[in-house]
Amino acid sequence: MQLLEFQAKELFREYGIRLLDSMSSASIEEGRRHAKELGFPLVIKIQVPVGGRGKAGGIQKCQNEDEFEIKYPQVMDLTVKGEKARAILLEKMADVKKELYLSIFLNRSKRCYTVIASNEGGVEIESVKNQIIKEVGLGDVSDDIAMEVAREMDLEGGIADQFADTLKRLSKLTIEKEAELAEINPLAIMQDGTVTALDGKFVTDDNSNFRHDELQKYQEKTAIEEQAEKSGFSLVELDGDIAVVGNGAGLVMSTLDMLSDNGGKPACFLDVGGGATTESVYEALTLISKLGGVKGILVNLYGGIVKTTVVAEAFLKAYKDNIIDMPVFSRLRGTESEKAKEMLEGSRTQIFDSVEEAINAAVMGIKD
């Protein structure tokens, strides 16, 4: 799961990484109390699970109460890359001397953790220059490696020590919380000579959730997503009008691609996992019925041993129980497909032999 900045900073604080004073709020009333406590000047920062918030106007400096009253609601109402504010972080303003970059991330192709550091931070990682890169196995950064990185960054004296200390703390946090990415950008050398984390990004490995009850308070799931997970499905909600369902992540992605190529707009990505049974397909249709704006359902099931009649039964049951009333365009590769077609005659479900035909029918079918 990807933590918001203020959540990442809660963990940083717990691990002794130096931060500016900050408080997160969900309403202007709460924000006003925080502003009073922190004192001006301060920075208003939108909390969204995507990058690029600065460019979108989601970070605003604020000198006094009058500015606060104008800017807080503005930031709160922003949408960054389609994401609404989850909270607002108010942070004390402080004088920055120099911005650095520091991250520890799971290097997928090398299959080890990698430290990236630079003395030219504050920009997106793709544009960070003079990157110092160190592979660190399972994530453990020794004193020697931490100091080596500091030296290669041309840091000296107390600044080098503080940097090395921050890196070691970040490494401990990465290992103990099983992160895929822990990033401080910028990590700043302040005018007062301290090394302070001004921003934080933290992505954990969802597959290790069962070992981390303490992180579950950061889990952000809609009721529908939660229900999908309970059924063992993967669901990603999208903003189109054709729900896409299939068995297997690759197959559903592929169906999404082809639908988009043909001018269709997917309403969701729903992977019901390996096998397809009457129950799992019925469950999937139930989930889709709870999504807004769905005009049609595109089903792509591939199974050497899937009985398509079993799937047809699920469609018929869903219509009968008034779970869905929209048309279903279905490609079922499996056995007994002729019989399944007969069963569905007169219903709002059409079965096609190829996914291309099903997609064409779906795109045409929802136009009327």
Residue ranges that bind another protein, judged by CB under 8 A: 2, 49-51, 106, 108-109, 111-112, 124-126, 138, 178, 180-181, 205-208, 210-211, 234, 236, 238, 246-254, 256-261, 266, 269, 271, 274, 302-305, 333, 354-356
From 101, 113, 282, 319, active-site residue: 101
Query: What is the smallest separation between the CB atom of 181 and another protein, expressed in angstroms?
Result: 8
**Quick check: helix, strand or coil at residue 305?**
strand
Half-sphere exposure of 285 (CA within 13 A, CB side): 32
Q: Is 101 a catalytic residue?
A: yes
Query: What is the smallest separation between the CB atom of 208 and another protein, expressed in angstroms?
Result: 4
DSSP-derived secondary structure for 308-350? HHHHHHHHHHHHHTTS--S-EEEEEEEE-HHHHHHHHTTSSEE
In sequence order, the β-bridge partners of residue 197 are 19, 187
In this complex, which beta carbon is closest to another protein, that of residue 21 or of residue 356?
356
Query: What is the smallest separation between the CB atom of 166 and another protein, expressed in angstroms?
Result: 22
Residue 218 vs residues 81, 168, 202, 215, 230: alpha-carbon distances, Å: 21, 24, 11, 6, 18
In this complex, which beta carbon is closest to another protein, that of residue 306 or of residue 312?
306
Cβ within 8 Å of residue 268, ≥6 positions away: 235, 236, 237, 238, 243, 244, 288, 291, 294
In this complex, which beta carbon is closest to another protein, that of residue 28 or of residue 273?
273
Query: What is the smallest separation between the CB atom of 284 and another protein, expressed in angstroms?
Result: 13
In this complex, which beta carbon is closest to another protein, that of residue 75 or of residue 128?
128
Query: What is the smallest separation between the CB atom of 109 and another protein, expressed in angstroms?
Result: 5
State which H helix or E strand residue 240 sits in: none
Query: What is the smallest separation between the CB atom of 167 and another protein, expressed in angstroms?
Result: 19
In this complex, which beta carbon is closest to another protein, that of residue 189 or of residue 256?
256
Q: What ranges in 23-156 are assigned the alpha helix state H?
A: 28-38, 65-76, 143-152
7-16 long-range contacts, Cβ below 8 Å, gap at least 24? 7/202, 7/218, 8/182, 8/200, 8/201, 8/202, 9/89, 9/197, 9/200, 11/173, 11/177, 11/200, 11/202, 12/169, 12/173, 12/184, 12/197, 12/200, 15/169, 15/170, 15/172, 15/173, 16/169
In this complex, which beta carbon is closest to another protein, that of residue 37 or of residue 220?
220
Q: Among all residues, which ones are annotated catalytic?
A: 101, 183
